C-alpha cells in the first residue's frame, strides 16, 4: 500500500468527531497540524494545505493535509494531498505554497531527505512541484526543481525551505528561506518562465547583525497598498520590547530594487503579540484583498490536554492593509455573515468586577470600547467559571498589554504569560475579541496590534467578566457565531 493511501485510510478510521473541534478554525481531522501551506485560490475556491502528521498528536514525517472554502470561514476537509513517498522527499514534504496556472493548481514544497555519509547523517532540503485539479495531485518527474547547488557557496543545504511562489509579467518568482554557514538568515530569490525550470536570481534580503534570528522560515514577499512587505518567521530571534525569545513571526517594511532584485528594509515589526502564532502565509484573493492565515500554536509551548486526539489549529484568516507604514489586521469580513443573537450595551460603568446579561459564551465576536473613565488596569476574563479563566489586561499606567492563561487549566504550559508594550499611544481603547471554543484573538484599536492565544479549558467555563481598579465607561457589542 502506498503512503498516501495508507495515511488516508488511517484518517478515515481515526477521524475525531466534529463537536470536539472549534466551530470555524481549521484543524486536522486527527493527529498533528503545523504550518499553513498552499494558501491560494483555484477555480473560484480557496484552498488551504497544511503540515500534517496523521498518525499521532506529535510532529512526525510531514504530509500535506487539505481543506477548502468559499468564504474563509466554513471549511470542508479534502483528502490528503502529499505523502513523503519519493526518494527526494522521503523524510518529509515540508512547507510550501501554491498558484493557479494554465496547467492546473501548482504546489511548490520542500522535499527533505536524509543521507548517511562517512558515518554522519546529513539532511538535504530541495524544492519540488506537484500539479493537480483541486482534489488530486501528482508530483512532477522533474523533481526536485530547485536544489541547493544552484545557490552561492556557503549557503545551507539543510536549512533551505518553505518556498513561496507568485507570478509577474516576466514569469514566476519564488522566495525560499536559507541561512549561511555562519548562521546568518537569508531569503533567496528564484525565477522561472514556465514555473518548471528555475534559475537562481539573488539574495532578496538578509540580516548580518545577528539580531534578527538565525534562520528565516516561511518567507512571503508582496506589495500591499503601494508598500513592499517581507514576512518571515525567524528562529532564535533576540528578545526586546518588540519580540520575545524563540520563534516569532515578523514583517519588514522597505523598498524593492527590481533591477537588482534586492529588498532593502528599514523597519521590522511583530505580526502578532499573543502566545500562539507562527508561520503566516498570505494570498491575494480574487477581489484584491491580501488575506493572511497562520498556525495558532507555538513551538515554545505544548498545552494540548491529555487524551485529545488532535493538535493544532489555524487563526481565523485576516485582511491586511498598510497605514502609516505599518500593517493593520482585521478578521475577514465574511465572519459577520455568521453573526447571531446580538447584544449591545452603551455607556456602562465598570468599577470593581462585573458581568453583563447576555455577554457570555465560547464562540463569539465581541467588541469592547472603553470610551472614558480613570483607571490603571482593566481586565477582561474569558472562558471563566469558579475554577478557570483566561485574562486579557490593559495596564494603562505602564502602556502595556498582558495576557495570562495561568488559570486556564493547562498544567504543562511553560509560557502562560505574555507582556507586550502598546505600540501606539491610546486615548481610547477598542478591543475586538474573537472566541472559538479553545482560542482567543484580540484586535486592538482596529488591528494596530493583534494577540492570538489558545487555551483548552472545559467548555463549561463560558462566563465573561470585566474588572477595573478605577472606573471605566464601556460600550459592548457581542454576537454569537453560528457556523452550521
Per-residue pLDDT tens over the stretch 78-88: 999 999 999 99
CA dist 466 and 391 (Å) reads: 10
Out of 35, 365, 391, 404, the active site residue is 35
Cβ neighbours around 194 below 10 Å, total: 11
pLDDT at 411: 66
For residues 65-77, give the mean pLDDT.
99
- Which of the four CATH numbers 2.160.10.10, 3.40.190.100, 1.20.810.10, 2.115.10.20 does domain 3-331 have? 2.115.10.20
pLDDT tens-digit profile of 323-365?
999 999 999 999 999 999 999 999 999 999 999 999 999 999 9
CA dist 378 and 397 (Å) reads: 11
Lowest mean pLDDT among 29-33, 149-153, 286-290, 299-303: 299-303
Pairing of strands 439-444, 449-454: antiparallel
- Reduced to 3 states (helix: H, G, I; strand: E, B; else coil), residue 274 is coil
The CATH superfamily of 339-481 is: Exo-inulinase; domain 1 (2.60.120.560)
Is-catalytic flag, 208?
Answer: no
Comparing 153 with 426, the larger pLDDT belongs to: 153
Position 428 confidence tier, pLDDT thresholds 50, 70, 90: confident
pLDDT tens-digit profile of 430-478?
999 999 999 999 999 999 999 999 999 999 999 999 999 999 999 999 9
**Residues 6+ away with beta carbon under 8 Å from 69:** 45, 46, 48, 75, 76
- Asked if 418 contacts 393 with a C-beta cutoff of 8 angstroms, the reply is no
pLDDT at 236: 84
Domain spans, the chain: 3-331, 339-481
pLDDT at 117: 83
pLDDT tens-digit profile of 357-397?
999 999 999 999 999 999 999 999 999 999 999 999 999 99
Q: Looking up cell 501606539, which residue turns up?
A: 424
**C-alpha grid cell for residue 127?**
524544492
pLDDT at 239: 65
Instruction: Compute the Cα dihedral for 458, 462, 463, 468 and give only its sign.
Output: positive
CA dist 5 and 11 (Å) reads: 10
- Asked if 275 contacts 402 with a C-beta cutoff of 8 angstroms, the reply is no
pLDDT at 302: 65
**C-alpha grid cell for residue 93?**
514534504
- Reduced to 3 states (helix: H, G, I; strand: E, B; else coil), residue 204 is strand
Look at residues 364, 319, 351 and name the one whose alpha carbon lies nearest to residue 477.
364
pLDDT tens-digit profile of 234-248?
998 876 656 665 578
For residues 11-19, give the mean pLDDT.
97
The DSSP string of 14-73 is HPPPGGGS-SSS---SSEEEEEEEEEEEETTEEEEEEEEETTSSS--S-EEEEEEESSSS
Position 57 confidence tier, pLDDT thresholds 50, 70, 90: very high
The DSSP string of 363-389 is EEEEEEEEEEEE-SEEEEEEEESSS--
pLDDT at 118: 84
- Reduced to 3 states (helix: H, G, I; strand: E, B; else coil), residue 7 is helix
Q: Distances in Å between the alpha carbon of 328 and those of 286, 319, 333, 335? A: 20, 8, 14, 18
> By CB neighbour count within 10 A (0-12 exposed, 13-18 middle, 19+ buried), where does 278 fall?
buried
pLDDT tens-digit profile of 269-278?
999 999 999 9
First-last CA distance in the chain: 36
- Asked if 311 contacts 299 with a C-beta cutoff of 8 angstroms, the reply is no
CA dist 276 and 455 (Å) reads: 10
- Reduced to 3 states (helix: H, G, I; strand: E, B; else coil), residue 11 is helix
Computed over every residue of the chain, the mean pLDDT equals 95
Say how many CA atoms lie within 13 Å of 460 toward its Cβ. 6
**Cα angle 359, 363, 365; round to 5:** 65
Amino acid at each position: 500500500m502506498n503512503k498516501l493511501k495508507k495515511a488516508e485510510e488511517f484518517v478515515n478510521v481515526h477521524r475525531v468527531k466534529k463537536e470536539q473541534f472549534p466551530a470555524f478554525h481549521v484543524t486536522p481531522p486527527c493527529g498533528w497540524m503545523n504550518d499553513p501551506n498552499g494558501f491560494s485560490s483555484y477555480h473560484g475556491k480557496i484552498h488551504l494545505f497544511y503540515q500534517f502528521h496523521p498518525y499521532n498528536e506529535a510532529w512526525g514525517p510531514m504530509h500535506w493535509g487539505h481543506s477548502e472554502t468559499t468564504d474563509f470561514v466554513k471549511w470542508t476537509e479534502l483528502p490528503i494531498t502529499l505523502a513523503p513517498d519519493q526518494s527526494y522527499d522521503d523524510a518529509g514534504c515540508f512547507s510550501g505554497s501554491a498558484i493557479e496556472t494554465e496547467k492546473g493548481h501548482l504546489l511548490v514544497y520542500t522535499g527533505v531527505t536524509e543521507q548517511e555519509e562517512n558515518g554522519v547523517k546529513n539532511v538535504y532540503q530541495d524544492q519540488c512541484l506537484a500539479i493537480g485539479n483541486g482534489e488530486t495531485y501528482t508530483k512532477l518527474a522533474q523533481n526536485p526543481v530547485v536544489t541547493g547547488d544552484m545557490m552561492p557557496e556557503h549557503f545551507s543545504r539543510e536549512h533551505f525551505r518553505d518556498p513561496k511562489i507568485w507570478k509577474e509579467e516576466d514569469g514566476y518568482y519564488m522566495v525560499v528561506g536559507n541561512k549561511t554557514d555562519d548562521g546568518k538568515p537569508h531569503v533567496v530569490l528564484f525565477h522561472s518562465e514556465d514555473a518548471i525550470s528555475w534559475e537562481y536570481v539573488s539574495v532578496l534580503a538578509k540580516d548580518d547583525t545577528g539580531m534578527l534570528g538565525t534562520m528565516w522560515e516561511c518567507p512571503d514577499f508582496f506589495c500591499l497598498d503601494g508598500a513592499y512587505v517581507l514576512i518571515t518567521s525567524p528562529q532564535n530571534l533576540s528578545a526586546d520590547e518588540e519580540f520575545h525569545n524563540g520563534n516569532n513571526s515578523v514583517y519588514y517594511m522597505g523598498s524593492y530594487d527590481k533591477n537588482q532584485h534586492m529588498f532593502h528594509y528599514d523597519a521590522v515589526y511583530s505580526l502578532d503579540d499573543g502566545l500562539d502564532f507562527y508561520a503566516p502565509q498570505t494570498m491575494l484573493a480574487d477581489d484584491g484583498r491580501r488575506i493572511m492565515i497562520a498556525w495558532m500554536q507555538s513551538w515554545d509551548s505544548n498545552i494540548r490536554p491529555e487524551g485529545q486526539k488532535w493538535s493544532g489549529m489555524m487563526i481565523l484568516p485576516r485582511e491586511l492593509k498598510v497605514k502609516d507604514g505599518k500593517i493593520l489586521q482585521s478578521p475577514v469580513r465574511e465572519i459577520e455573515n455568521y453573526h447571531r443573537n446580538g447584544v449591545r450595551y452603551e455607556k456602562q460603568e465598570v468599577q470593581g468586577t462585573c458581568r453583563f446579561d447576555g455577554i457570555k459564551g465560547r464562540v463569539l465576536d465581541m467588541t469592547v470600547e472603553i470610551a472614558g473613565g480613570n483607571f490603571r488596569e482593566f481586565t477582561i476574563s474569558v472562558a471563566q467559571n469558579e475554577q478557570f479563566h483566561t485574562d486579557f489586561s490593559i495596564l494603562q499606567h505602564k502602556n502595556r498589554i498582558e495576557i495570562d492563561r495561568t488559570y486556564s487549566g493547562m498544567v504543562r504550559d511553560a509560557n502562560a504569560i505574555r507582556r507586550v508594550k502598546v505600540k501606539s499611544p491610546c486615548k481610547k481603547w477598542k478591543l475586538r475579541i474573537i472566541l472559538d471554543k479553545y482560542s482567543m484573538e484580540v484586535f486592538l484599536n482596529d488591528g494596530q496590534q493583534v494577540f492570538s492565544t489558545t487555551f483548552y479549558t472545559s467548555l463549561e467555563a463560558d462566563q465573561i467578566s470585566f474588572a477595573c481598579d478605577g472606573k471605566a465607561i464601556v460600550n459592548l457589542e457581542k454576537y454569537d457565531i453560528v457556523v452550521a
